[in-house]
Amino acid sequence: MNRRNRKKQFTGQGSGKVSLMDEVKPKNIFETPQGDLVIDFGQNMSALIQVTAAGKKGDVIRLDCFEVLDSKGNVYLDNLRGAKESLQYTFGEDGTMWSADMNSFNHYAYGSIGEWLVRVMAGLEVDEKKPGYKHAVIYPRMGGDLSYVKAEYHSVYGAVKSFWEVTPEETVLHVSVPVNTTATICLDGAKEVKDGDGLHFTAGNGCMQAEAGSGDYEIHFVR
């Protein structure tokens, strides 16, 4: 096979929590000829930027991340093309920053909602001792008016899947564990396992749980 024609799919590996390692101060703060205030860190970096500002109600602050100045010493954004990122904030009643139409869709507030849906509602959780979903913890929490939740994560080993549905008679959990991996499957609030699909479930802390090898499982239980 011609290696140049081979198609490869790259998948990000799950990891543990990100820790604060260092705090970098600006190298220089100055104003451009066009009146923009530049906070120069002296390097390209991936980091959380913290800015403290004060103003009166209705004042707007816009933050643009960029790399270079143009020949006149002003902010230059055209080289970023589709990678432009802008954050806009409006000062509220007490002079603090607030934006009812926050336009950063990469903001933690949005990411945390998605994380909660995947890790809690769908129950796809990584085992920090065996990262990258080498061993997964599948522990979906059923509740509210939801009758089903379906999700999957494409790990380096393959797709880890969780799909649960609730009927008046029982709850059914469908699980897929990739080849060469294992998983701990937890049944939230289970009182009885009607069909464990070959798995042996024992009572745990608020759930019934079992260890599973790679494969597809359909588990029927009563909550």
Q: What's the chain's average pLDDT?
A: 83
Q: Is the CB of residue 26 less than 8 Å from the CB of residue 39? A: yes
pLDDT tens-digit readout, 197-206: 999 999 988 8
Task: Compute φ and ψ for 216, nearest 5 degrees.
Answer: -110, 135
Higher pLDDT, 118 or 2: 118
Q: Is the CB of residue 162 less than 8 Å from the CB of residue 138? A: yes
What is the pLDDT, as a whole number, of residue 208? 97
Terminal Cα distance for the chain, rounded:
53
Q: Could you tell me the strand order of the sheet in which 182-188 lies?
A: 124-126, 135-138, 182-188, 207-212, 202-203
> Scanning the structure block, which residue is given the tokens 């990258």?
132
What is the per-residue DSSP string for 86-122? EEEEEE-TTS-EE-TT---TTSHHHHHHHHHIIIIIS
The kind and range of the H/E element at 37 are strand 37-40
> What pTM was computed for the model?
0.55
Strand partners, 90: 60, 98
Share of the chain above pLDDT 90, in %: 48
Higher pLDDT, 115 or 203: 203
Average of per-residue pLDDT across 3-24: 60
pLDDT tens-digit readout, 205-215: 889 999 999 99
What is the pLDDT, as a whole number, of residue 120? 93
Q: Is the CB of residue 62 less than 8 Å from the CB of residue 68? A: no
Q: Cα separation of 139 and 119, whole Å?
A: 8
Given a cut of 50, is residue 100 above it in pLDDT? no
